[in-house]
Every structure is written in structure tokens, then in C-alpha cells.
Structure 1
Amino acid sequence: MRLNLWKSIGVFSSLGFLFVAGIMSANARDLGIKPLPKQQSVQISQNNLGPVSGQWTLAIEVTAHTDLNVSTEPNYWMLTSLEQSGIELSGRILNVNQNACSDAEILGKVEGNRVSWIMYYTGSCCKDGMMKFEGVMVSPTTIEGTLVPVGSSPQNCTLWSANVVATQGHYYK
């Protein structure tokens, strides 16, 4: 018995077409392929914020002084320059108002949305005095926290506790 070549090709072509059409119309579960998971909405968390590097103005609202005979205004501002490398933070004070000391080195950390540093006063004003800042990034350009003295105040130096709002921007020195 001889097979007709054209009939054989036609039968195999028809079977191939039906097989491909069946695959295309089958549900993905029928083929053992898992469907893609539903897309979840993505929310940017505080941990996804960019680095803290840049200039920050600290709006300082003093809540208590270490020297009760102080006659200064209860509010200050400081312009700082901060540099973040990984979680490490360093910087310095660029400018201040009132009689706040400006010669200070800043060393700290950024962990998630928490920012902390210690200002080490190095100049003739409050030499060896230290202030600790602890805050939280509430937006990419705003940090809110507190600033408190560390240890006792050096002689002829007034340190203070304060609420602080730090705002990042492009300022001049």
C-alpha cells in the first residue's frame, strides 16, 4: 500500500495546525504555566529617599538653656553643609544668626529615615562643647528632630535644648 505524499503532508499539517491552535486557545493553567501575579502598587518609603548630602538650614526653637541667665533670643538658625557616604554623615556649620557658635564639626549616621549627628565645637566659642541631633526625614527635603547638649557645658558657654526643622536647599555661604 502506497501512501500518497500530498495526503500525508496535508494530514500532518492539519494536525499541526490543530495542535498549535489548541495551545494558543488553552488557559495558561492547562499548560502548567503560572499566571503573572497581580501588580502591587508601589509606595516610596522613607528608606528610598536620596542622600542627605547638601546644604541644610536648621530652624531652631530653643526649649531650655544650660545657663538660666541668658538674654538671647529663643530662636536661631544655622546653615550647615552635610555629606553622606553610605550611612556615615559628616559636615560643618557654614553660618549662624544670633550668637550661636559656628565652629563645629558634624559627625553622624543616616539609617533608613532616621538621621542623627553630634556637633563637636572646635573654635574659641564653646570649645569642646557637644550637641546631639536626633531626627526623622519626613520628606526628601525636611528633617524634624531635637538638639540637646551632651555632657556639661564648657566654661563661658551656653548650650540649649531645641526642637529643630531642617530644610534642604541651595543656599549661599
Structure 2
Amino acid sequence: MRFNSLKSLGIFSSLGFLLVAGILSADAGDLGMKSLPPQQSVQISQNNLGPVSGQWRIAIEVTAHTNPEVSTQPNYWLLTSLEQNGIELSGQILDASQSACTDAEISGTVEGNQVNWIMHYTGSCCRGGMMKFEGVMVSPTTIEGTLVPVGSSPPNCTLWSANVVASYGNYYYK
């Protein structure tokens, strides 16, 4: 009996094809595997990404003071840590130049490119004082706006109105 290699190859190829086709047509249950649950699609928007989260150095160009005894209008900077969760914004002041108060909590909102917050001073410096920031995110690393006092200043506290430019980055602080 002669071995016909072409005929044998055809039979083995056909059997291999049937085996592979059977495996591919079986669902996960036939193979003893659990099928995956249906996946829900997730849409990512600017509010999901939290573009304001991180450290921001806020350059403050003072335009007016709440205390008439202050004769100069120096410029300050504040280093903040902000966290965005949806449209909600929270944070704190990490460091500041000159004699600016650092004991403050920040709360606000981010809606589209509008960034707004209130700084509530909580420490011995300006306790009870509040400053309101209203700004626009002009790029992923820059927010521009104004900072103004809210209500009356506590005794022995000088708050200011200012033009503000906030820059995103990884900053060193004490």
C-alpha cells in the first residue's frame, strides 16, 4: 500500500479545520469559562479629567488694599494645592511670599474654562477673612483672573484686590 501524501494532507487539513471551527463557534459556557459582563461606555469630558488638580503658583499684582494705613501695594505670590472632582474645586495655600497669610481653605468650581473659588482664612492671620477669585483657564497651564476681598476685613488684617496669573507646575515649598 502506497502512502499518498497529498490525500493524507487533505484529510488532516480538513480535520484540523473542523477542530478549529468547532472551538471558535463554541461560546464561553461550552468551554467552562464565564462570559464577560456587558461593558458600559464611559465618556470623558473636561470635568472628568480634573485639569485644575495640582500645584499652582499664583502671581498677584495688587491694585488696592482694604487697609488705608498700608502705603505700598506690593506684589505677592501664593503656592496652592488644588484638587478638582467633577466641577467641585478644593485646596489650600502651601506657601506665600512677603507677609501673606497661608492658613486658608479654598473651595470653588470649575465649569468649562471658568475657574472660581473663595479663600477662607482659618489661622491666626486674618481669621474669618475671605477673598474671591474669578478667572479663566487660558491654557492647560495658565489661569488669569482677579482676586477681591469678600465682606469686611477682620481687625489687623489687610486684604487686597489684585490681578492674578496662576501657573501650573511642580513647585518646591518649605
TM-score where L is the length of structure 2:
0.70
After superposition, the Cα gap between the structure-2 partners of 1:109 and 1:162, relative to the gap in structure 1 and judged at 3 Å, is same
The 5 A counterparts of 1:30-109 are 51-71=51-71, 73-109=73-109
Please report how far the alpha carbon of residue 85 of structure 1 lies from its aligned counterpart in structure 2 after TM superposition.
Answer: 0.2
Partner of 1:134: 134
Whole-angstrom CA distance in 2 between matches of 1:150 and 1:135: 16
Instruction: Provide the alpha-carbon RMSD of the alignment.
Output: 1.7
Aligned residues: 128
Q: CA deviation at 1:69?
A: 1.1
Gaps of 5+ in 2: 1-45
1:102 maps to a residue whose letter is: T
Runs (4+) of structure 1 exceeding 3 A deviation are 46-50
1: CA distance between counterparts of 2:50 and 2:86?
11
Q: Which amino acid aligns with 1:145?
A: G
Structure exhibiting the larger radius of gyration computed from Cα positions: 1
In structure 2, how many angstroms separate the alpha carbons of the residues matched to 1:51 and 1:169?
Answer: 12
User: Using the alignment, how far apart are the partners of 2:102 and 2:147 within structure 1?
Assistant: 15
Determine the structure 2 residue equivalent to 1:144. 144
Distance 2:125 2:135 in 1: 25
The superposition leaves residues 65-115 of structure 1 with CA deviations (integer Å, 9 ceiling, x where unpaired) of 001211455200000000000000000000001111110000000000000
CA deviation profile, 1:110-134 (whole Å, cap 9, x unmatched) = 0000000000000000000000000
Q: How many angstroms apart in 2 are the aligned matches of 1:112 and 1:143?
A: 12
Using the alignment, how far apart are the partners of 2:104 and 2:47 within structure 1? 28
Identity between Structure 1 and Structure 2 (%): 80
What runs of 5+ residues in structure 1 fail to find an aligned partner? 1-45
TM-score scaled to structure 1, two decimals?
0.70
